[in-house]
């Protein structure tokens, strides 16, 4: 399956450090809310909705172990794998840091008539 890459940060517009390390935020890309986390190793993207109670993960915090902490019930999700410490999970999205900015990848749905 092919991936469609969307630029979420443009270094010319937002600077080379558009988000602090160990921070999370909610972004909207293609009408989808994504929780974007920044760790020392780079940017990571997961669904913004906590599967437990529906809270927006981008309004939570990021701990030093790379977990997003839900702002409502403190559930934790690994931003690299999407796995919750409680046994559930959230979807992850690939990210790339390129020379001109940060990109997030979405699977393209292909329809092939043959």
Query: In this predicted model, what pLDDT tens digit does every residue of 14-30 receive, in sequence order?
Result: 888 889 999 999 999 98
Q: What is the pLDDT of residues 69-79, one digit of tens each?
A: 999 999 999 99
Q: What pLDDT is recorded for position 30?
A: 85
For the segment 36-49, the average pLDDT, to the nearest whole number, is: 96
Cα distances from 21 to residues 5, 32, 41, 51, 93, in angstroms, run 23, 23, 9, 25, 19
- The CATH topology of domain 3-107 is Rieske Iron-sulfur Protein (2.102.10)
Domain residue spans in the chain? Answer: 3-107
Q: Is pLDDT above 90 for 99? A: yes
Q: What percent of the chain has pLDDT over 70?
A: 94
């Amino acid at each position: 399956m092919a991936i469609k890459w969307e630029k979420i940060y443009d270094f010319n517009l937002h600077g080379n450090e558009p988000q602090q390390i160990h921070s999370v935020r909610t972004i909207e890309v293609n009408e989808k809310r994504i929780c974007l986390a920044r760790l020392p190793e780079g940017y990571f993207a997961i669904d913004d909705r906590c599967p437990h109670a529906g809270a927006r993960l981008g309004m939570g915090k990021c701990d030093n172990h790379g977990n997003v902490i839900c702002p409502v019930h403190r559930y934790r999700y690994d931003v690299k794998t999407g796995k919750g410490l409680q046994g559930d999970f959230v979807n992850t999205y690939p990210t790339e840091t390129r020379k001109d900015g940060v990109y997030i990848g979405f699977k393209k749905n292909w329809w092939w008539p043959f």
